[in-house]
Chain A
């Protein structure tokens, strides 16, 4: 009991400091990317649970809905990797504008396939 009592505050301290550091050091753009990623993750989990617990009957609809979340998540995550200033050295030739254009084009193609498959 004793060690857990002592570790509780240190853990919450760690989480708090992490949150603080994140808030301070992350640009608004990356925060919006992160918010979008969290939203996509929750949406994907919700659809997966619905498929398992309720019905997978129009299976194509499930595949389309779930794949749109996963695909958008992957595209957004790669956008975040490319525009993150800390990864500047790895993506020297990719400007943030170019990265966003790739992301937008990829997303539009993804949504085209998703809606084709959804009905």
Chain B
């Protein structure tokens, strides 16, 4: 009697406590002393409301360590230490990169100062401007300093941040994207903005020098990034933010030049949701393959068989903290590969069966060890990869069609030769006596 309502209540409690992230709820915030925790209270309390457990730590503290016995202690790490030049021994560029390979997500803030983290950015295919060159824009006209800029939010990568957000306040540095397919641009600079070596326009010497030396052109325009994600092959996510102030309470509330609330609060929550693997997280639950009209997967398949391949996909739903069948991908492909893809075909979702993608195709007329490969990589989405090995064999000796009507002339030819041989042999053996006289006659003439 008790259990009947206690169990659901406990389950409800558990689901409430469970984090919204697909990869865990522990967050380490490395906050430099200069930045007061209270200045970011809205951002942090927003995370805590979602169910994250935040642990704060100064860059020079030794505990809690981010890695202990080579084991990641936290599911997510927020690096709000943009001006710290020396960290304690466990925070190094190498340890941060190894965190990513252990499926730990990183949210890293930068500043115009040169720090170890600043130099790490180039490993993520982001080119930073010379130290001390913040982003400047004089548009739109406003009372704030030129380095505090309202940036209109345009969807660079779809669905990472909510659509139709109000402009967000930004103060910090821009960066240039290198040509890396793992980069996920999230927010680009306004078209009128540029990087300058001071808060005024009086001297842009450092920028011009850098342009001369590196040949990278001037640091200006909307091709520069302000917030960029990076998703390595393992599925962890790292997000680089040009300035930490955009997460501050001050920028959350600061009124826009045209009036109205800025989009910072929602933007920060969306960026954190993407970084902490809440949004746009997919997985392949299972794949199956079999011949047409069968249900069990074949041990071997024969060349030219009709094969059915199906995959079941799920998407993480942060609201219910559950994986739900997902049929929203229209452009997935299946490859049937032996060294090269012999067949590459669309793998469309099946109507009426949520999460199922299926295709029927004819196996190639080529025997060997083949793989069913799904390799779906799109910016912002979790990379999907699945590989299943199957042998493809030629037909067995009794697997061919026999006694085809088209081959009857050949059968008749072979049979008639045999019959002819038998008749001829019979004639030869029977005609022995008559031939004897002929032989005698010819030998005589010879």
Interfacial residues, chain A to chain B (CB-CB below 8 A): 27-29, 32-33, 36, 39-40, 43-44, 46-47, 50, 54-55, 57-58, 61-62, 64-66, 68-69, 72, 76, 85-86, 88, 96, 100, 104, 107, 111, 114-115, 118-119
Given contacts A39-B420, A69-B417, contact A29 B411 (CB under 8 A): no
Residue of B nearest to A104 (CB): B425
| B428 located at the interface, meaning its Cβ lies under 8 Å from any Cβ of chain A in the complex | yes
Can you report 10 A-B residue pairs in the complex whose CB atoms are below 8 A from each other?
A27-B442, A44-B413, A47-B409, A57-B404, A57-B406, A61-B411, A64-B414, A65-B413, A66-B410, A72-B421
Where chain A touches its partner, the secondary structure class is helix
A residues in contact with B402, CB < 8 Å: 119
Which chain B residues (413-430) contact chain A, with CB distance < 8 Å?
413-414, 416-418, 420-421, 424-425, 427-428
Q: Is B11 an interface residue (CB 8 A)?
A: no
A-B contact count (CB 8 A): 94
Option from A43, A47, A55, A119 in Cβ contact (under 8 Å) with B406 = A55
Q: What CA separation (Å) do A107 and B414 show in the bound complex?
A: 12
B421-446 residues at the A interface, CB under 8 angstroms: 421, 424-425, 427-428, 431, 434-435, 438-439, 442-443, 446
CA distance A57 to B409 in the complex (A): 12
B403 interface contact, C-beta 8 A: yes
- On whether the beta carbons of A28 and B431 are closer than 8 Å, the reply is yes
| Residues of chain A with a CB closer than 8 A to B416's CB | 43
Query: What are the 5 A-B residue pairs with the smallest beta carbon separation, nearest first?
Result: A65-B410, A27-B438, A65-B413, A61-B407, A61-B410
Which listed residue (A58, A66, A85) contacts B413, Cβ 8 A?
A: A66
Report how many residues on chain B are interfacial, defined by Cβ distance under 8 Å. Answer: 28
- Complex Cα distance A96/B432, Å? 11
Shortest beta-carbon distance, A83 to chain B, in Å? 9
Please indicate the chain B residues that have their CB under 8 angstroms from the CB of A55 in the complex: 406
Residues of A within 8 A of B412 (CB): 65
Residues of A with C-beta under 8 A to B421: 72, 107, 111
A79 to B369, CA, bound (A): 51
Across the interface, name the chain B residue whose C-beta is closest to A96: B439
Q: A32-B431, A39-B420, A62-B410 are in contact. Are A85 and B446 (CB under 8 A)?
A: yes
Known A-B contacts A28-B434, A29-B438; the reply to A114 vs B406 at CB < 8 A is no
Q: How far is the CA of A85 from the CA of B425 in the complex (A)?
A: 19
A27 and B439 contacting across the interface, CB-CB below 8 Å: yes
For chain B residues 270-286, which have a beta carbon within 8 Å of chain A?
none
Contacts of A50 in B (CB 8 A): 409-410
Q: Give me the interface of B with A, judged by CB distance under 8 Å.
A: 402-404, 406-407, 409-414, 416-418, 420-421, 424-425, 427-428, 431, 434-435, 438-439, 442-443, 446
Question: CB-nearest residue of chain A relative to B439?
Answer: A85
Contact (Cβ within 8 A) A65 B434: no
Residue of A nearest to B427 (CB): A32
Which residues does chain A contribute within 8 Å of B418, judged by CB atoms?
A: 68, 111, 114
**Who on chain B is nearest to A111 by CB?**
B418
For B424, give its contact among A32, A62, A119 (CB under 8 Å). A32
Contacts of B431 in A (CB 8 A): 28-29, 32
Tell me, rounded to whole Å, the shortest Cβ–Cβ distance linking B47 to chain A.
70
Extra 16 A-B pairs, beta carbons < 8 Å, given A36-B420, A54-B409: A27-B438, A27-B439, A43-B413, A43-B417, A57-B404, A58-B407, A61-B411, A62-B407, A72-B421, A85-B442, A88-B443, A96-B439, A111-B414, A114-B414, A114-B418, A115-B414
Q: Give bound CA distance, A5 to B416, whole Å.
A: 43
- Contact flag A58-B428 (CB < 8 Å), given A27-B438, A43-B416, A85-B439: no
Considering the complex, give the chain B residue whose CB is closest to the CB of A62: B410
Q: How far is the CA of A44 from the CA of B410 in the complex (A)?
A: 10
A119 to B: closest C-beta gap in Å: 5
B445 CB to closest chain A CB (Å) equals 9
Cβ-defined partner of B435 (8 Å) among A29, A66, A118? A29
CA distance A98 to B58 in the complex (A): 107
Minimum distance in angstroms from A53 CB to a CB of chain B = 11
Q: Is the CB of B428 within 8 A of A47?
A: no
Residue contact A118 to B434, C-beta cutoff 8 Å: no
For the complex formed, measure the closest distance between the CB of A78 and the CB atoms of chain B, giving whole angstroms. Answer: 14
Q: Which residues of B are found within 8 Å of A27, using beta-carbon distances?
A: 435, 438-439, 442
How many Å from the CB of A73 to the closest CB on chain B? 9
Contact A100:B428 (CB < 8 A) given known A46-B409, A57-B406, A57-B407: yes
Once bound together, how far apart are the Cα atoms of A72 and B410, in whole Å? 15
Question: Known contacts being A28-B438, A32-B427, A107-B421, is A68 close to B407, with CB within 8 Å?
Answer: no
Measured CB to CB, the closest approach of chain A to B434, in angstroms, equals: 5
Residue of B nearest to A76 (CB): B424
